Amino acid sequence: MATIEIKLNKPNKVYHEGEIVTGAIIVESKTSLAYQSVSLTAEGVAALTLSAKSVGRLESMYNSVKPISLFGHSIELARQGKIPAGTKSIPFEIPLKPHGSIKWLLETYRGVYISVQYNIKCLLKRPLLNKDLTKETEIYIEYKSGDRANNKPIKFNINPNSIKNANSQAEIPRFSVRGRLDSNVCCLTKPMTGELVVEASENPIRSIELQLMRVETVGSPDGFAKEATEIQNIEIGCGDVCRGLGIPIYMIFPRMFACPTVDTPNFKIEFELNIVIVFEDDRMISENFPIKLTRF
């Protein structure tokens, strides 16, 4: 049995625009292996889906948005030949340059409705009656430069008066929470920090949570489809927390589900932070903060 493998020189597979992906195709076979060609294709695609919720189930099925090609590169590494038994390594290089009209390579991202993926695919074509060997591997693109996170703290107060969409102000138990977020433009790789103080609360509190929301907006001929997803929920207070004691707000952004905020003509990816206070009687109060994520 022959196997084929793509081995990249960078173990974490993270690349930046303009860099050259280097690596090798490793073919391992116990017997000598004849082939017709060995080729390598690299492509980057932003795939968009319309949410069933916003445009209807049927629509979403056939009205999917055409994927946007961001990057493409294909090379033939070897023409017809024979590989002797054992391990053979065929080195390759792929320069990372955006495709035609695309100005820059978007970051790798995998969401529910939007995904940006970069794949390298290797194909070893073999003579008739033999199965071709293929192997695919993903590389991750990150921005090389971009907006920088700022350090402007945002202060907030949550109390019955600050709640806007309550049915009736009277039913809300009296409470007062104040706090501060250290920034609303946050660096992805650094934790989000701040502090929260429960100054008073009539009802006992069950928990205080940080909810990280992602809002994906996909442009379609019919307008925009906007979808929010909770991507992380972190408890920072559990039980009836001590009054007047500063509880730290601390959250690390999830690597898989977070990316720098993106705004392109076709789609947008934005993030929001909710501070949720749950009382012992299951009442829930949530305060929303739009935040911008950057790589730097």
Under the binding rule (CB under 8 A), the answer on residue 173 touching other proteins is: no
CB of 265 to other proteins, least distance (A): 26
Report, in Å, the least distance between residue 264 CB and other proteins.
23
Q: Which long-range contacts (CB under 8 A, 24 or more apart) does 281-289 make?
A: 281/203, 282/206, 283/172, 283/173, 283/203, 285/158, 285/163, 285/172, 285/175, 286/211, 287/156, 287/158, 287/162, 289/154, 289/156, 289/181, 289/184
Contact 42, 22 (CB under 8 A): no
- 224 or 250: CB nearest other proteins: 250
208 binds other proteins (CB under 8 A): yes
Task: Tokens 């007047």: give the residue.
Answer: 244
- Give the rounded distance of the alpha carbon of 110 from its chain centre: 5
Q: Given candidates 229, 264, 266, 294, which one binds other proteins under the rule CB under 8 A?
A: 229
Rounded least distance, CB 195 to other proteins, Å: 9
Instruction: Find the binder of other proteins among 20, 163, 166, 245 (CB under 8 A).
Output: 245
6 vs 231, beta carbon nearer other proteins: 231
- Taking CB under 8 A as the binding criterion, the range among 68-76, 118-126, 132-140, 229-237 that sits at the site for other proteins is 229-237
Q: Which one, 204 or 290, has the nearer CB to other proteins?
A: 204
- Alpha-carbon distance 140 to 12, whole Å? 8
Of 35-43, 99-107, 127-135, 246-254, which part binds other proteins (CB under 8 A)?
A: 246-254
Residue with Cβ nearer other proteins (95 or 110): 110
Distance CA 261, CA 269 (A): 5
- Upper half-sphere CA count for residue 257 (Cβ side, 13 Å): 16
- Out of 95, 153, 239, 290, point to the residue binding other proteins (CB under 8 A): 239
Question: Which single residue is written with the structure tokens 């501060």?
Answer: 180
Site string for other proteins, 34-73 (x = CB under 8 A): ----------------------------------------
Binding residues with other proteins: total (CB under 8 A): 38
The binder of other proteins chosen from 180, 234, 268, 296 (CB under 8 A): 234
- Give the separation between CA 66 and CA 34, rounded to whole angstroms: 39
**Which stretches of the chain bind other proteins, using CB under 8 A?**
11-12, 84, 86, 112, 191, 204-205, 207-208, 228-242, 245-248, 250-252, 254-255, 278, 280, 282, 284
